[in-house]
């Protein structure tokens, strides 16, 4: 019995080891490992964006699909022997990874195209770079508002106006729209990331107008069913929904500013193929690829050299005026306080 | 065996005995002209019979003969397409089972597994709203009757097969039913217990003197328990009579073959009243057929009625034929011979026979004329 | 003795595979969950193997946490009740039907399990939403003037969970109904029970094990349900599973999430244990009453 127990444990350990090693064997020469979004994005990257790069540098880009938080935990698990070279993440989870010391800094000497990037897209402490500009603002259904004789919203504080009672759908604080609404309501009422009390006060009023706080940030069914008139969403997601559904929605840059949401590219700390990783990032920040992102992924270019025709620019965060309205939230403060805010939100807002 | 018929008149099924009229009878249970179909298949065809108060009738037949359906009709679980059922002159065929006051002992006993023995037996009384004190007294009385008063608090699963059967019996009779139905009562018992329970059940039925209809496929059980037997075949009653009469005077080839063993020989009626069996010769026999128009008949002789003798005896009442011993089997209480007679094979039994024959030895067989019975040939394919 | 030892070893060898499977698939993950629930989380360092009971202390002083736990239990009990009330007649109908009809019922019952939760929640929105089918019909009939919101409340959670889970109740009740021999019912009828009484006295008690199994399955699945309550009840009516998800996935605080999950496990197990103990006590008491009644003699039985 004792021996069997020993064997069993040995077997468990062995399979646990096998499981931890299985996802990727050591990276081969002439390879760069790229962790990025799955689905349509993956197809776009692999079929149309990456092949020229692979050809030019005679390298294989190994694409590992996943979501932002997954990469954070992967990098943490592989801290001592990283397998990823470059990761795509939203700015929020990216800042967590940065604070955990999982990402390495990079500057213009390593990535020449960084010199063309707008200041708002540069990562804190030179860690990571935003590869597209997305604005979080207020989205509304113009036909529904007109039919009801209701004025469109202009500011964050408008969300608390009784004219939208039972007509707003918003994400929970777990997703970025809810989180940013809280921060922007704080800023609109004399607070900021370090003082969210005014935000919570106002949010309670907004809550009375909210039909439902959703777990994620997919509001399409609420507009399709005519349940909601107003939400807080990114211009990019709205544009994609409008394109696929044919419904008409408007995006508003609120008077108090629209927080920036950025998909970011980051260099993994101690990644196995550092040189090629830097070349890959540089390639994706080039004029050509930045135009491609704008055209195909509907995100605003961060490269100042990129000039877009008016029909492509429509609905994107592009140009002096739009960029000037962008507000860059302080992710360090957010990350540090998010657990406390979440508890407070659970108790005060979603009840 | 025929004691039931000695103390009270024997009633015949109207289908097999058109001579008697129904109105003449003073039956306790009256079953008239049952017809029933499952889909397009006829499972009951003009089934009629009656039984007297305290009488035990057995429906006997092979599986699929309609005996179980008849029981279901009596119980009220099957509504017949035609015909009616009367108990004590009252029509019951329109009544649901719970109104009929019929006690049933099911083949698998159907004891409620989630109730104690006491609650099983008390169930029918509770349904009748009997007072608690009386329920307890009557249940214990019934359990004492079946010699299991100490089992009251047990669960059915804690009892042996024989004990379960006795509880099932107690449950069926404690309600003082107008009619008791027994469905293959011994089929779930092993051979030894079967004999024991047969005697015990017969004693109980005699004690209670309740009108009983029992269904079985086992002729020995039927003969042991019943006052009268109704032999059923293909949805019809072939013959209904005392066990003794059924055995001695089978009304059809089927009955003759189904009850006991028989040698069946194809024969032709001769003008002189005798019967010609090919390869054997002219035989004298008892002709019990209702109609004697047909000349092609079947001649039936029970193996135990044939004697193996050295020389042919004289006398009118004896038939004798010559044959050759083909096989000899010593079976303890009897010896069996297969004797070849003119191409036919006859089975012969003799009890306590010390005689031994050689295979191939020539022998003479004899039997009384009264023991060879002529039945119609119409069921020859049975 | 030697021969015995040999067979014992053979027997143990047979057990090795299931034990490993159970160990790998169940014991190890649960052990890991419990271990992590005592660890600490630091935003800069991640999960730290510094084992303390602080995560549990934090939960025990948290009224909000208990409010959510109580909602989870309350709704799960309601779901179990409705599944039983709804599932029993369906199970009876299911075992009485055959062929295509039976297959059809199965397909309808299993549909929610094979449909993606997102699609299903959209379906409910079409049905229950303010511009949904029910509101349209009700206002068309003049029953209501202003469209009502039927979604995003506890009722919607109950409706949605019953829809998804009733199949477990139906299948386990049907299985035990199938084992109820119809001759028991016939025996009861012959003894004077009407169909209704026979059902209550025979079929119902004998199908209780199935009802119990079904209730257990539905309750456990409901307690741990995540997607359906979140999509139909919304985040205002949180289930405990939502808080676990929030801690573990949104806030990276695995230890806190693990502690919540362990509490959910304990609460579920404790409730099931309570029910089991209660029914054991009842059986023992019933048996004792019966024995005493027998010991007192037949005359007393009637008096009891």
Sheet holding B344-351, edge to edge: B307-309, B362-368, B318-330, B334-341, B344-351
CA distance B223 to B246: 10
Residue A127 in any domain: the answer is yes
Q: Mutation test of the interface with chain A: which of C229, C236, C239, C241, choosing the one with the most A Cβ atoms within 10 A? A: C236
Question: Both A214 and A336 in a single domain?
Answer: yes
Q: Chain A: residue nearest C18 by CA?
A: A8
- pLDDT, residue B377, reads 59
Which percentage of chain A shows pLDDT scores above 90? 62
Residue A324 lies in a domain: no
- The answer to the question of residue A16 being in a domain is no
d(CA C181, CA B107): 12
Given an 8 Å threshold on Cβ–Cβ distance, is C302 in contact with B137? yes
- Determine the Cα–Cα distance for residues A158 and B348; give it in Å rounded to an integer: 113
Higher pLDDT, residue A218 or B348: B348
Instruction: Supply A182's token pair.
Output: 């809280």
**What integer pLDDT is reported at residue B16 of this predicted model?**
40
Rounded to a whole number of angstroms, the distance from the CA of A53 to the nearest CA of chain C is: 34
A71 and A143 in a common domain: no
Looking at residues B288-307, what average pLDDT do you find? 83
How far is the alpha carbon of A221 from chain C, nearest alpha carbon, in Å? 7
Q: Nearest to residue C69, comparing CAs of C254, C228, C217, C271?
A: C271
CATH code for the domain in which residue A293 is found? 3.40.190.10
Residues A241 and A300 in one domain: no
Q: Which of B58-62, C82-86, C178-182 has the lowest mean pLDDT?
A: C178-182
Query: What's the mean pLDDT in B260-264?
Result: 89
In chain C, which residues have their Cβ closer than 8 Å to the Cβ of B104?
186-187, 190
For chain B, list the domains and their CATH numbers: 3-101+178-253 (3.40.50.300), 261-376 (2.40.50.100)
Mean pLDDT, residues A84-94 taken together: 93
Query: B18 falls in which pLDDT band (50, 70, 90)?
Result: very low
Q: Say if residues B204 and B167 touch (Cβ distance below 8 Å).
A: no
Please answer yes or no on whether C252 and A69 come within 8 Å at the CB atom: yes
Q: Look up tokens 């019922």; give the residue.
A: C105
**How far B251 CA sits from the closest chain C CA (Å)?**
35
| Token pair in block for residue B56 | 């035990």
- Tell me the helices (H) and strands (E) count for chain B, helix number first: 9, 21
What value does the mean pLDDT take over residues A73-85?
Answer: 89
Give A132-154 pLDDT, tens digit per residue: 999 999 999 999 999 999 999 99
Q: For C25, which DSSP code?
A: I
Q: Do B108 and C181 touch (CB under 8 A)?
A: yes
Instruction: Say yes or no for a CB contact (<8 Å) between B104 and C184.
Output: no
Neighbours of chain A (3+ CB pairs under 8 A): C
C-alpha separations of A167 from B120, C177, C232 in Å: 65, 49, 17
Domains and CATH numbers, chain C: 75-118+146-255 (1.10.3720.10)
Average predicted confidence (pLDDT) for chain C:
87
Q: Kindly report the average pLDDT of chain A as a whole number.
A: 87
Q: Is the pLDDT of residue C102 over 70?
A: yes
Note the pLDDT of residue A298: 85
Q: Are A129 and A207 members of one domain?
A: no
A99 shares a domain with A248 = no
Interval B173-207: pLDDT, tens? 999 999 999 999 998 888 888 888 899 999 999 99
Are residues A166 and A193 both part of a single domain? Answer: yes
What pLDDT shows up at residue B13?
38
Residue A14 lies in a domain: no
Cβ of B134 under 8 Å from any chain C Cβ?
Answer: yes
Q: How far is Cα C304 from Cα C297, in angstroms, rounded to an integer? A: 11
Residue C291 has what pLDDT?
Answer: 65
Please answer whether residues B178 and B87 qualify as being in contact, where contact means their C-beta atoms are separated by less than 8 angstroms: yes
Q: Identify each DSSP E strand in B193-343 by its residue range.
A: 212-216, 228-233, 236-241, 263-269, 275-277, 281-283, 286-287, 296-301, 307-309, 318-330, 334-341
Closest chain C residue to A210 measured between Cα atoms?
C236
Separation CA B204–CA B200 (nearest Å) = 6
- Give the residue from chain C lying closest to A341, CA to CA: C251
Domain shared by A306 and A342, yes or no: no
Handedness of CA C130, C135, C140, C143 (dihedral sign): negative
Contacts of A211 in chain C (CB under 8 A): 149, 152
Give B229's strand partners.
Answer: B58, B241
C187 and B132: CB-CB below 8 Å? no
Residue B188 forms contact with C (CB below 8 Å): no
Nearest Cα residue to B59 out of B183, B177, B224? B183
Residue ranges of E strands in chain A: 31-36, 60-65, 86-90, 103-104, 129-130, 134-140, 168-171, 210-214, 230-234, 250-252, 258-261, 263-268, 326-327
- C129 and A166 within 8 Å at the Cβ level: the answer is no
Query: Could you give the angle at which helices A176-188 and A331-348 cross, rounded to 10 degrees?
Result: 100
Tokens of B165: 């059967």
Q: Contact A53/A45 with Cβ under 8 angstroms?
A: no
Query: What is the per-residue pLDDT for C302?
Result: 36
Residues in C whose CB is inside 8 Å of some CB of B read: 181, 183-184, 186-194, 197, 201-202, 205-206, 290-291, 293-294, 298-303
Smallest CA–CA distance, residue C220 to chain B, in Å, is 27
What's phi and psi for C177, nearest 5 deg?
Answer: -65, -35
- Predicted local distance difference test score (pLDDT) of residue A319: 81
Cα–Cα distance measured from residue C259 to residue C249, given in angstroms and rounded to the nearest whole number: 14
Cβ pair C214, C84 in contact under 8 A: yes
Note whether A57 and A113 are same-domain residues.
yes
Residues whose CB falls within 8 Å of the CB of residue A258, separated by 6 or more in sequence, listed in order: A135, A136, A137, A325, A326, A327
Residues forming beta bridges with residue A137, ordered by sequence position: A233
Least confident range from A53-62, B346-355, C119-128, C268-277: namely: B346-355
Check pLDDT > 80 for residue A229. yes
Q: What is the DSSP letter of B110?
A: -
The closest alpha carbon to A204, from A32, A350, A24, belongs to A350
Residue B291: predicted pLDDT: 72
Residues of A in contact with C149 (CB under 8 A): 166, 211
Average pLDDT of every residue of chain B: 86
What percentage of chain C has pLDDT greater than the value 90?
Answer: 53
Average pLDDT over residues C28-32: 91
**How many other C-beta atoms can be found within 10 angstroms of the C-beta atom of residue C11?**
9
Residues on chain C bordering chain A, Cβ-to-Cβ distance under 8 angstroms: 12, 16, 19-20, 23-24, 28, 43-46, 64, 121-122, 125-126, 129-132, 149, 151-152, 230-231, 234-236, 238, 242-243, 246, 249-253
Averaged over C32-55, what is the pLDDT?
Answer: 88
Look at residue A10 and tell me if it is in a domain.
no
> Do A117 and A163 share a domain, yes or no?
no
Contact predicate C225/C161, CB 8 Å? yes
Q: Do the domain assignments include residue A33?
A: yes
pLDDT of the residue at B293: 73
Give the domain range for residue A177: 135-260+330-348
H or E element that contains C278: helix C254-295
Residues above pLDDT 70, as percent of chain A:
92
List, for residues A233-291, the tens digit of each pLDDT value: 999 889 888 888 889 999 999 999 999 999 999 999 999 999 999 999 999 999 999 99
Contact C176, C207 (CB under 8 A): yes
What pLDDT score does B46 carry?
93
C301·B136 Cβ contact <8 A: yes
Q: What is the predicted pLDDT for the residue at A15?
A: 41
Same domain as A154, residue A127:
no
What are the tokens at C101? Answer: 């009809």
Strand A258-261, strand A326-327: pairing = parallel
C80 or B373, which is more confident? C80
Specify the residue for token string 């023991």: B371
Cβ-Cβ contacts under 8 Å, C252 against chain A: 69, 72-73, 96
- Same-domain check for residues A220 and A273: no
- Residue C203 to residue C194: CA distance in whole angstroms: 13
pLDDT at residue A129 tops 80: yes
pLDDT score at C289: 72
The pLDDT, as a whole number, for residue A156 is 96
Q: Is the pLDDT of residue B19 over 50?
A: no
Q: Return the H-helix or E-strand segment holding B113.
A: none
**Averaged pLDDT, B31-43:** 92
Question: Residue B217 belongs to what H/E stretch?
Answer: none
Q: Which helix (H) or strand (E) element contains residue B376?
A: strand B372-376
Residue B332 burial (CB count, 10 A): 6
Q: What is the pLDDT of residues C179-194, one digit of tens each?
A: 899 999 999 999 999 9
The answer to whether the Cβ–Cβ distance between A8 and C23 falls below 8 Å is yes
- 3-state secondary structure at position A226: coil
Residues A45, A88: Cα–Cα separation, whole Å: 12
Q: Give the helix/strand (H/E) hosting A122.
A: none
Higher pLDDT, C295 or A171: A171
Strand partners, A87: A35, A266
In a domain, A64, yes or no: yes
The number of folded domains in chain A is: 2
Counting CB pairs under 8 A, whether chains A and B reach 3 or more, is: no
Cβ(C207)–Cβ(C215) below 8 Å: no
CA C209, CA B336: separation in Å to the nearest integer?
57
Rounded Cα–Cα distance for residues B194 and B187 (Å): 8
Give residue B314's pLDDT band: very low, low, confident or very high (50, 70, 90).
low
Instruction: Assess whether A161 and A231 both reside in one domain.
Output: yes
Task: Give the model confidence (pLDDT) of C266-297 as tens digits.
Answer: 999 999 999 889 888 888 887 777 666 555 54
Q: How far is B373 from chain C (nearest CA, A)?
A: 43
Strand partners, C166: none
pLDDT of residue B20 exceeding 50: no
C191 closest CB neighbour out of B113, B116, B124: B124
Residue A223 parent element (H or E): helix A220-224
Nearest residue to B284 (alpha-carbon basis) of B322, B248, B318? B318
Q: Give the C-alpha separation, A176 to B199, whole Å.
A: 88
Any C CB within 8 A of B156 CB:
no
B327 sits in the region (left: phi over 0; alpha: psi -120 to 50; else beta) called: beta
Q: What phi and psi, each to the nearest 5 degrees, are found at residue B293?
A: -75, -40
pLDDT score, position A29: 63
- Label the pairing between strands A134-140 and A230-234: antiparallel
pLDDT at position B136 over 80 = yes
Q: Which of C252, C254, C255 best probes binding to A when mutated, by most A CB atoms within 10 angstroms?
A: C252
CA distance C137 to A14: 62
Q: Give dist(CA B308, CA A32) in Å, integer.
A: 107
A5 found inside a domain: no
| Burial class (CB within 10 angstroms; exposed 0-12, middle 13-18, buried 19+) of A92 | buried
Written as one string, the DSSP assignment of C209-261 is HHHHHHHHHHHHHHHT--HHIIIIITTTS--HHHHHHIIIIIS--HHHHHHHH
Structure tokens given for C145:
């003037």
Contact A135, A325 (CB under 8 A): yes
């Amino acid at each position: 019995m004792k021996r069997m127990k020993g064997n069993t444990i040995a077997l468990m350990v062995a399979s646990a080891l096998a499981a931890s090693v299985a996802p990727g064997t050591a990276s081969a020469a002439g390879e760069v490992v790229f962790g990025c979004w799955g689905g349509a994005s993956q197809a776009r990257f692999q079929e149309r964006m990456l092949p020229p790069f692979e050809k030019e540098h005679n390298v294989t880009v190994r694409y590992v699909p996943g979501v932002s938080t997954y990469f954070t935990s992967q990098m943490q698990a592989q801290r001592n022997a990283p397998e990823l070279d470059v990761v795509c993440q939203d700015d929020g989870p990216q800042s967590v990874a940065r604070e955990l010391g999982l990402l390495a800094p990079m500057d213009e000497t390593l990535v020449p195209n960084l010199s063309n990037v707008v200041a708002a897209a540069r990562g804190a402490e030179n860690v990571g770079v935003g590869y597209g500009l997305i604005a979080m603002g207020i989205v509304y259904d113009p036909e529904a508002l007109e039919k009801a004789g209701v004025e469109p919203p202009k500011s964050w504080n408008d969300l608390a106006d009784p004219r939208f009672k039972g007509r707003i759908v918003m994400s929970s604080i777990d997703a970025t729209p809810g989180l940013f609404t809280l921060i922007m309501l704080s800023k609109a009422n004399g607070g900021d990331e370090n003082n969210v009390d005014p935000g919570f006060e106002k949010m309670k009023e907004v809550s009375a107008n909210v039909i439902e706080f959703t777990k994620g940030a997919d509001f399409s069914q609420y507009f399709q069913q005519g349940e909601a008139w107003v939400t807080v969403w990114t211009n990019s997601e709205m544009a994609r929904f409008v394109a696929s559904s044919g419904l008409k929605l408007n995006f508003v840059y609120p008077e108090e500013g629209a927080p920036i949401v950025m998909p970011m590219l980051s260099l993994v700390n101690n990644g196995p193929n550092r040189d090629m990783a830097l070349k890959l990032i540089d390639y994706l920040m080039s004029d050509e690829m930045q135009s491609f992102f704008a055209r195909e992924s509907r995100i605003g270019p961060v490269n100042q050299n990129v000039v877009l025709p008016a029909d492509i620019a429509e609905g994107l965060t592009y140009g002096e005026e739009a960029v000037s309205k962008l507000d860059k939230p302080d992710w360090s403060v957010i990350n540090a306080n998010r657990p406390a805010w979440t508890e407070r939100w659970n108790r005060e807002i979603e009840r | 065996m025929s004691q039931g018929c000695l103390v009270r008149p024997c009633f015949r099924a109207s289908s097999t005995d058109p001579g008697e009229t129904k109105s003449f009878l003073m039956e306790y249970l009256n079953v008239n002209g049952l017809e029933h179909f499952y889909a397009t298949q006829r499972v009951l065809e003009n089934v009629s019979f009656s039984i007297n108060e305290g009488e035990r009738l057995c429906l006997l037949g092979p599986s699929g003969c309609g005996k179980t359906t008849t029981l279901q009709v009596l119980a009220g679980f099957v509504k017949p397409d035609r015909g009616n059922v009367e108990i004590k002159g009252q029509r019951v065929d329109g009544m649901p089972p719970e109104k009929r006051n019929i006690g049933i002992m099911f083949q698998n006993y159907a004891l409620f597994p989630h109730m104690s023995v006491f609650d099983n037996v008390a169930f029918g009384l509770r349904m009748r709203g009997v007072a608690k004190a009386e329920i307890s007294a009557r249940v214990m009385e019934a359990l004492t009757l079946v010699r299991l008063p100490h089992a009251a608090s047990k669960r059915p699963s804690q009892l042996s097969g024989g004990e379960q059967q006795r509880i099932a019996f107690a449950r069926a009779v404690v309600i003082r039913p107008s009619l008791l139905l027994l469905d293959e009562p011994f089929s779930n018992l092993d051979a030894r217990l079967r004999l024991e329970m047969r005697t015990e059940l017969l004693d109980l039925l005699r004690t209670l003197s309740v009108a009983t209809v029992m269904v079985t496929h086992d002729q020995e059980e039927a003969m042991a328990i019943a006052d009268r037997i109704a032999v059923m075949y293909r949805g019809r009653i072939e013959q209904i009579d005392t066990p003794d009469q059924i055995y001695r005077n089978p009304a059809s080839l089927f009955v003759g073959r189904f009850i006991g063993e028989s040698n069946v020989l194809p024969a032709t009626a001769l003008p002189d009243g005798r019967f010609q069996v090919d390869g054997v010769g002219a035989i004298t026999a008892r002709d019990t057929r209702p109609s004697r128009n047909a000349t092609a008949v079947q001649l039936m002789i029970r193996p135990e009625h044939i004697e193996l003798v050295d020389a042919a005896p004289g006398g009118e009442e004896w038939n004798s034929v010559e044959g050759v011993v083909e096989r000899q089997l010593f079976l303890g209480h009897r010896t069996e011979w297969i004797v070849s007679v003119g191409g036919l094979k006859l089975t012969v039994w003799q009890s306590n026979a010390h005689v031994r024959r050689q295979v191939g030895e020539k022998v003479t067989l004899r039997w009384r004329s009264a023991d060879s019975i002529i039945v119609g040939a119409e069921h020859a394919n049975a | 003795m030697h021969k015995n030892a040999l067979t014992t070893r053979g027997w143990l060898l047979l057990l090795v595979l299931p034990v490993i499977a159970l160990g790998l698939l169940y014991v190890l993950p649960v052990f890991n969950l419990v271990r992590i629930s005592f660890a600490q989380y630091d935003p800069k360092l991640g999960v730290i193997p510094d084992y303390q009971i602080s995560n549990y202390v934090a939960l025990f002083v948290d009224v909000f946490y208990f409010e959510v736990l109580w909602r989870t239990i309350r709704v799960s009990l309601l779901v179990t009740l409705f599944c039983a009330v709804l599932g029993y007649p369906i199970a009876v109908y299911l075992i009485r039907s055959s062929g295509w009809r039976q297959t059809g019922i199965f397909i309808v019952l299993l549909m929610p399990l094979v449909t993606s939760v997102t699609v299903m929640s959209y379906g409910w929105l079409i049905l229950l939403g303010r511009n949904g089918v029910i509101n349209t019909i009700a206002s068309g009939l003049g029953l209501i003037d202003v469209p009502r919101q039927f979604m995003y409340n506890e009722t919607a959670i109950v409706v949605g969970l019953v829809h998804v889970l009733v199949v477990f109740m139906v299948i386990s009740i049907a299985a035990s109904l199938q084992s109820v021999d119809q001759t028991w019912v016939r025996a009861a009828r012959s003894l004077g029970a009407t169909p209704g009484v026979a059902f209550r006295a025979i079929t119902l008690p004998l199908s209780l094990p199935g009802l119990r199994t079904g209730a257990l399955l539905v309750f456990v699945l409901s307690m741990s349900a995540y997607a359906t309550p979140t999509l139909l009840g919304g985040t205002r009516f949180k289930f405990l599973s939502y808080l676990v998800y929030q801690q573990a996935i949104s806030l990276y605080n695995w230890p806190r999430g693990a502690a919540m999950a362990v509490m959910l496990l304990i609460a579920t197990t404790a409730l099931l244990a309570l029910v089991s103990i209660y029914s054991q006590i009842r059986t023992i008491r019933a048996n004792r009453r019966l024995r005493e009644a027998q010991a007192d003699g037949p005359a007393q039985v009637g008096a009891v």
